[in-house]
Every structure is written in structure tokens, then in C-alpha cells.
Structure 1
Amino acid sequence: MRAFWREYRENWVAVVALAVVVVVVGAALGAPLIAPQDPYDLANLDLMDARRAPGFVGSGGYVHWLGTDAQGRDLFSAILYGLRISLQMGVAAGAVALAIGTALGILAAHARGWVEGAIMRVVDLQLSFPAILLALVLVAVLGQGKVPLVIALVTAQYAYFARTAYGAATAERQKDYVEAAHATPLPGWRVVFRHILPNCLPPLIVVATVQVANAIALEATLSFLGLGLPPTEPSLGMLISNGFQYMMSGRTWISVYPGIALIVLIVGINVVGDQLRDQFNPRLSR
């Protein structure tokens, strides 16, 4: 672990990105303690404070450092809660997609035969469609809400994990120690969990990091289009969408600040994922 962290620290960009991600995640988790206003509590909202510029002192007596949105919500508070929701959607979708995709990929590599062919043909077919298109269709069918959105994101992303797990497991199953393990009385599932799965984790961790960022971006896109979370959920995509109609009137802060928060989060996670990829597979290092 020390050697891993020592190598990680050699890339100062990755260190900064990791620090940014940690700060953002910490701020999102501590939103109820940090945010001066609860954007869920309608009693705290005042329409007289709507669309106020950054630095305005609202009716609540505190300064709206990033301004307010069209509903009179403190934008800083809304961004903190929006980061929380975006991270919840991204991590939940990434974890479920990781579990399903890994199970299918290793099953295909281990079972071989018609099972391998059937699973991988379905995976290849899904990978031929853009993830955003598949997510749009599923959300339009399932409706709005956290559960339908997670289902749509998982369905759009599990194939990436399945393809990665299948490739790693196929390479492992051809090695001598795996063949020797199969020759022992050990059941097949123990061979998979003891020898194949642990060696498939490094590439899956990298893919999981990237796919969490992609899930956050997909959720923001769907919410911006009005197909993701309901209007009562102040996700980053919804916040950007709420302020988009006021861009031409000069009230740019309503969309710009949530957009900056979304970009910082996604770029930070992607940079961390790139560094992990380079460390787990130095041949891909630039």
C-alpha cells in the first residue's frame, strides 16, 4: 500500500484531483451541517429572495454567497445537496452495475460454451448503442424517481463491466495455476473466488471509477432534460436546467455555479481513474 501511494504521489495532478474529490465528497456528506439553508424545507424559502445576485443578504439574515435560484433557494446550499444526490446516484449505479457486470463476465469466461456465447452477444449488442440513448429510452418508460433512474443507469453501464471482467477472466483461466486448481477437488466456485476474481479486480476498479463519473454525467443530462429526478430533488442537472432560461437575462450564476461544481467533480474522478489505470497497467501509461 505504501508503494502504491508513493507512486501515486509522483503525479501531482492526480494528487490535486484526489484532494478535490475528497473535499467535494466531504462537503456533500456534511451538507446538512455546512449548508446555511435546507433546500428541501419549503418553510425556509422566500420568493422575494428569488434570482438574487451573489452576495445578497436574504430574508433569513445570512448572505447568499453564490446567489439564489428561481425558487429563492440559497445556491450554495442547493449545490451541496445536489452534489450529495449526484454522488448517491453515481455510486449506487456504479456499484450495482459493477456487481452485475462482473458476475456476468466471469460466468461467461468460466462456463464457456453456449453460455459464454449468449452472454457476450448480448453485451456486444448493448455496447453498440450509445449509453445516453439507452438511458433516455428506459427513463421515458420507467418514469421519474431515484429507483427508475438507477435502473436506467445500471442497464446502460453494466456491459462495460461485463466486457472488462470477461477479458480479465479469460486471460486468467488460461494460466497454469488456474488449470492446476481445476485439477484439484476444489469446486468451480471456489476456484473463481480464490484465483480468478481477485486478479480481475484491478481493471474493474479503474472501470468503476470512470463509470461513476459517467453515471453522474448521465444523471445530470437526464435531469437537465427533465427526464431524471423530479423537480423537488435539487440535483446538479436540475439546478443547471432551472437557471438555463435566465442565462440571456444576465442571471448566469444560477446555471454557471452548479455547472462548475459538476465539471470539477467529474474531471476530478476521471483524473483519479486515469492515474489508477496507469498504476495498474504501466503499459498504458502516457
Structure 2
Amino acid sequence: MNRFGPALRAIDWTGWLGAAIVICIVLAAVFAPLIAPYDPIALSVEDRLSAPDAAHWLGTDQAGRDVLSRIIFGARASLAVGIGAVTIGALLGVSAGLFAAYKGGLGEQITMRLVDGIASIPLLVWAIAIVGILGVGPLPVGPLVLPNEFKIVVLVGCLFSPVFARITYAVAKRIVGADYVKARYLQGASHWDIVLGDILPNCLSPIIVQATLLVAIGIVVEASISFVGLGVQPPAPSWGTMLSDARNAIYSGEWWLPVFPGLAISLTVIGFNLLGDAVRDLFDPRSEARTLVA
């Protein structure tokens, strides 16, 4: 910790702001049952379309549900998709990138051309098309029944994998030819020891930076899919679903219905982007923060 102390102090205030936003969003999602003032799916006809007041700080929607409670619980779906998709994408992409860089030859060409093929189609088009084909209901897989949210996490994670594969491949390809890696091979080290002990640790910095930035993209993708009705299904709260339900409110005067879910998405994405920029500066060898670490 002492080693990183000067570097952390050198990080711009925007990085700390991003970290604070992310921490608040994560804590709200984790402790949603304790923080939310109302049940997010409880209907109250007499309170429908109430403007923000002392009882409902962010107002209520068309069914009388508390907007603040639904935003707090909606953070769970957004973070689950963002973080879960990045985790799956990193596992798949880093494995593919390491394999291509270390294997070389035909295996390298096949792996990277497959990665290029997946990356050639826009992520959101892939997501909407595949979720539309599979449907929005639970997906039975043997004895298991997978909810729609799980399908989205796996799908977006697979679509994130080309980004991690390219980054890992670019870094690992240079390391594979390094003298110390060749020396380790001559010493009798196994392929696993070389890949996991020598090559992978040197690839972690750009992977961590990219993972932080991709969480924000995953949140936007989840909101977009839910907005068109293919993501989180009602009555479960989701920021994208709330925006979709609020489309008519833009012209009828209930301004709080589209504004607050939109702010939640914007603040979360901004927070992760600011945090990602700070992490990038920390790991960038040309930055002041990284120089202080060294």
C-alpha cells in the first residue's frame, strides 16, 4: 500500500469522483432491500403518477410504484449484466488471446480470425438478434431453468470476448519472444507455468483497464435490450424498462419518469468511465501516477 500511496495521490480528482459514484451504486445495489423506502413492485392505484414529494422523493409511475425504489433495485440488473458480462468476456477472451499468442501457426490464425468474425458485427445488433431468437422467457437447459437475465449476461460476455482476446494477444505476442520466456522453457518449465506465471501477469494491466471501461458498455447494452422489451421482464425493475414505460410521459408532463432513470444510467456510465480513465493512468508507464509507482 505504501508503494502505491504516491500514485494514488497523483490521480486526478475525476478518478476519485468516478470511484465514489461506482461505490455508491454498488452499495445501493447490494443493500437495496435496506435502502429502498418501498417495495419496487408494489402497486398503489391512489398514488399513481404522483410528482416528487416528501412521501415519494422521485415520484411514482403509472402503476403507483415508487420510482426511487425501482431505480435502487434496478441497479442490481444493470451491475449484474455489466460485471457478469465482463467476467465471462475476460475469461473467454484472455484464454483465446493467450492460446493464439503462445501456440502460433495455424492455431493462431484460426483463433484470431474467429475473433475478428465475432467482432465484425456490432454488439447491440448481436444482442438483440440472439435474444429475439431465444425469446425472453426462461431457457430450460437440462434440469436447470435459466432466467432471461442470465442469457443476457452470457450473450454480452461472449460478445465482449473479442476485445479481451485482441488486447491479450497483442501484449502476449511480444512477451512470448522475450529472452526470459525462452530461458524458462530451456529450464524445463511446463507450458502452463510459462503461460500463467510469466506471460499472463504481464498482460493484466491493459486487461484490468479495459474491463473497467466495458462494465459501462454492458450497463448501456442491458438498458438498451430492456428498453425494447427483450431484457429484464416486468414487473422486475430495470432502468431500461423504466425508460421504455416513460416514453409517453415525455409529452404528458410526468417529467420525473424519464429523467431519473436516465440520470441513473448516465451517472453510472460516467462513474465507470472516470474510474477506467484513472485506472488507465495508474497503469500507463508514461503517466505521472505510474512513474510514482515505479
Q: TM-score, normalised by structure 1?
A: 0.92
Superposed counterparts of 1:155-234, under 5 Å: 155-234=158-237
Q: Secondary structure at the match of 2:266?
A: helix
Superposed counterparts of 1:25-104, under 5 Å: 25-40=26-41, 44-55=42-53, 63-104=55-96
Query: For residues 32-82 of structure 1, what are the alpha-carbon distances to aligned partners after superposition, in whole Å with 9 as ceiling and x for unaligned?
Result: 001011214xxx4212211110006xxxxxx10000111211111000000
TM superposition shift of 1:264: 0.4
Does the aligned pair in 1 maintain the 2:80–2:153 contact within 8 Å?
no
Q: Distance in 2 between matches of 1:245 and 1:284?
A: 48
Does the aligned pair in 2 maintain the 1:69–1:75 contact within 8 Å?
yes
TM superposition shift of 1:103: 0.7
* 5+ residue gaps, structure 2: 137-147, 289-294
- CA RMSD, 1 decimal: 1.5
Does the aligned pair in 1 maintain the 2:96–2:165 contact within 8 Å?
yes
Partner of 1:136 in structure 2?
128
- 2:246 is the alignment partner of 1:243: yes
Q: Which has the higher contact order (CA 8 A, sep 6+)?
A: 2
Q: Distance in 2 between matches of 1:284 and 1:38?
A: 47
Task: State the AA in 2 paired with 1:35.
Answer: A
Task: State the AA in 2 paired with 1:13.
Answer: T
Say how many residue pairs are matched: 276
TM superposition shift of 1:228: 1.4
Does the aligned pair in 2 maintain the 1:8–1:14 contact within 8 Å?
no
Partner of 1:151 in structure 2?
154
Identity score, percent: 39
Compare 272-281 and 259-268 and name the one that shifted more. 272-281
Q: Secondary structure at the match of 2:189?
A: coil
Does the aligned pair in 2 maintain the 1:210–1:269 contact within 8 Å?
yes
Q: TM-score, normalised by structure 2?
A: 0.90
Does the aligned pair in 1 maintain the 2:88–2:154 contact within 8 Å?
no
Q: Distance in 1 between matches of 2:121 and 2:53?
A: 46
Q: Distance in 2 between matches of 1:178 and 1:21?
A: 38
Partner residue of 1:277 out of 274, 277, 280? 280
Query: For residues 166-212 of structure 1, what are the alpha-carbon distances to aligned partners after superposition, in whole Å with 9 as ceiling and x for unaligned?
Result: 11111211211111111121110111111011111111001111111
Q: Distance in 1 between matches of 2:61 and 2:43?
A: 11
Does the aligned pair in 2 maintain the 1:149–1:229 contact within 8 Å?
no
Task: State the AA in 1 paired with 2:133.
Answer: V
TM superposition shift of 1:242: 1.1
* 5+ residue gaps, structure 1: 57-62
Does the aligned pair in 2 maintain the 1:51–1:251 contact within 8 Å?
yes
Q: Secondary structure at the match of 2:4?
A: helix
Q: Distance in 2 between matches of 1:118 and 1:47?
A: 59
Superposed counterparts of 1:251-270, under 5 Å: 251-270=254-273
Partner of 2:292 in structure 1?
none
